[in-house]
Amino acid sequence: MNILVVGSGGREHAIVTQIARSPKADKIYCAPGNAGIAQLAECVPIGAMEFDALVTFAKEHDVQLTVVGMDDPLVGGIVDVFEAAGLRVFGPNKAAAILEGSKAFSKDLMKKYNIPTAAYENFTDPGEAIAYLKTARFPIVLKADGLALGKGVLICNNLQEAVAGVKTIMQDKKFGSAGNMMVVEEFLTGREVSVLSFVDGKTIRIMDSAQDHKRAYDGDEGPNTGGMGNFSPSPFYTEEVDEFCRKYIYQATVDAMAAEHRPFKGVIFFGLMLTEDGPRVLEYNARFGDPEAQVVLPRLKNDIIDVFEACIDGRLDEIELEFESDKAAVCVVLASDGYPVSYEKGFPISGLEAFDGKDDYYCFHAGTAFKDGQIVTNGGRVLGITAIGSDLKEARAKAYEATGWVSFDNKYMRTDIGHAIDEV
Ligand code: AMP
Ligand code: GLY
């Protein structure tokens, strides 16, 4: 079949890589894609938010399955537009993608259905938020309600910082309309784990866990980024944690969405904090994580097209997911120096051919483009270097070895991805 993937990052490169492994895949298209994806798929210059142009393209090119990787089009209702045009598409519709699109919605859902999460209050009025904060315990967490490129969360250590935060989110509207509403949330401590899952509206299948490194600098210091690297599985995601989450979080979330007449089909990403009192949901995303997809998908043994189709058709109960459980993966992101604040683009990248024909190594392109016949840097996160090993330490050593194979001006990476592995 012909397949269209919507998006342009490392996550979409990982999705396209899995699709290309399926004997069911004929022609693969990616809109808009990037220079790495172009090795496996035909990239088409249509933006992810151009829903009508994407539908027209899908119809004209006999696309039988569309897979949406990114949050913005999902929250904006791309699935509804495709379905209305009679096209098969993998991802939540607009009513379900609100699970990521509104943090106030997801907090209210968890409260109503007793899903473990941090205590919170929602506010639409900055004055009321400040009055509440005057009585609060610090540190405390402020979250813009809507999508904010992963930057709409502020951790405030005292009232002064919190008042400034309210101004940033609700009055200066630093994150635009995402700040029309704000969640004020209890500060939790513990280890963070990302768990991705496939969902068909009723049934949920859990993928191997991953652990992200969101901060820009070594030692988990500096500003939050989209993710500087990660590893899978997380050794901290124990059987006990898994049992708790299966009992109180995963199916409960799917059932809650169905009960709210918002049945969720697609990927639910559970951002969990493993606190002393047990796992708590920090956030939901309605899509694969980036770079979580780069360490989780390469070890998936199932034909991913079968899984996508089972989700669309509501028969995920017929599928058991299988991962290469005797292997682990580590991804180190090569970024442009200065990311996430400001950075230059357009530098030629050399050495990419070193990855050709090496099964255990992946060079996922996140922000690359073609310029004058060369592959050049085209974003803050440029490449995700992933290696597979027999355990996390071997995978990490291989991933760092491979970071040396490519070079470009202003190349920056964290040198301590996976440091938590040594604590086990
Ligand atoms: P989110 O976009 O909700 O994942 O938040 C971004 C990051 O902020 C998370 O990965 C955590 O590191 C941190 N965070 C979010 N909520 C809390 C919380 N309630 N307590 C402590 N840290 C939090
Ligand atoms: N790596 C975190 C995310 O995709 O939101």
Determine the Cα–Cα distance for residues 340 and 160; give it in Å rounded to an integer: 25
257 and 337 inside one domain = no
313 and 198 inside one domain = yes
Q: Which residue range(s) make up the domain with 162? A: 125-180
For residue 139 and ligand 1, the question of a CB distance below 6 A is answered with no
Residue 114 located in a structural domain: no
Its sign, for the CA torsion 127, 131, 132, 134, is positive
202 and 297 inside one domain = yes
Query: Domain of 82: which CATH number?
Result: 3.40.50.20
Determine the Cα–Cα distance for residues 282 and 272; give it in Å rounded to an integer: 5
52 and 153 inside one domain = no
Residue 83 located in a structural domain: yes
50 and 142 inside one domain = no
Residue 66 located in a structural domain: yes
Nearest CA among 71, 226, 93, 196 for reference residue 146? 71
Give the number of the ligand closest to the Cα of residue 381.
2
198 and 173 inside one domain = no
User: What is the pLDDT, as a whole number, of residue 68?
Assistant: 98
What is the mean pLDDT for each group of 10 consecutive residues in the chain (424 residues)? 97 98 98 97 98 98 98 98 98 98 98 98 97 96 92 94 96 95 97 97 98 95 92 97 98 98 98 98 97 98 98 98 97 97 96 96 97 96 98 98 98 96 87
Query: Domain of 166: which CATH number?
Result: 3.30.1490.20
378 and 415 inside one domain = yes
CB burial readout 380-391, b (16+ within 10 A) else e: bbbbbbbbbbee
For residue 227 and ligand 2, the question of a CB distance below 6 A is answered with yes
CA of 141 to the centre of ligand 1 (A): 8
310 and 204 inside one domain = yes
Final residue of a structural domain among 259, 289, 318: 318
208 and 312 inside one domain = yes
CA–CA distances in Å: residue 239 to residues 50, 210, 266: 43, 14, 25
418 and 377 inside one domain = yes
User: What is the pLDDT, as a whole number, of residue 224?
Assistant: 87
The total number of structural domains in the chain stands at 4
222 and 314 inside one domain = yes
CA of 273 to the centre of ligand 2 (A): 14
Angle at 105 between CA 172 and CA 141, to 5 degrees: 50
CA of 218 to the centre of ligand 2 (A): 18
Final residue of a structural domain among 263, 285, 318: 318
Residue 361 located in a structural domain: yes
CA of 223 to the centre of ligand 2 (A): 15
CA of 153 to the centre of ligand 1 (A): 7
Q: What phi and psi, each to the nearest 5 degrees, are found at residue 311?
A: -65, -45
Give the number of the ligand closest to the Cα of residue 227.
2
Q: What phi and psi, each to the nearest 5 degrees, are found at residue 253?
A: -70, -45
Alpha helices by DSSP H, 192-262: 239-245, 251-259
Query: Domain of 282: which CATH number?
Result: 3.30.470.20
Residue 109 located in a structural domain: no
Ligand 2: which of 74, 193, 194 to mutate, judged by most atoms within 8 Å of the beta carbon? 194
User: What is the pLDDT, as a whole number, of residue 150?
Assistant: 77
User: What is the pLDDT, as a whole number, of residue 424?
Assistant: 80
CB 85 within 8 Å of CB 56: no
Q: How many CB atoms lie within 10 A of CB 299?
A: 19
Supply 91's token pair: 């991802």
Nearest CA among 413, 379, 405 for reference residue 9? 379
Ligand 2: which of 212, 270, 386 to mutate, judged by most atoms within 8 Å of the beta carbon? 212
35 and 138 inside one domain = no
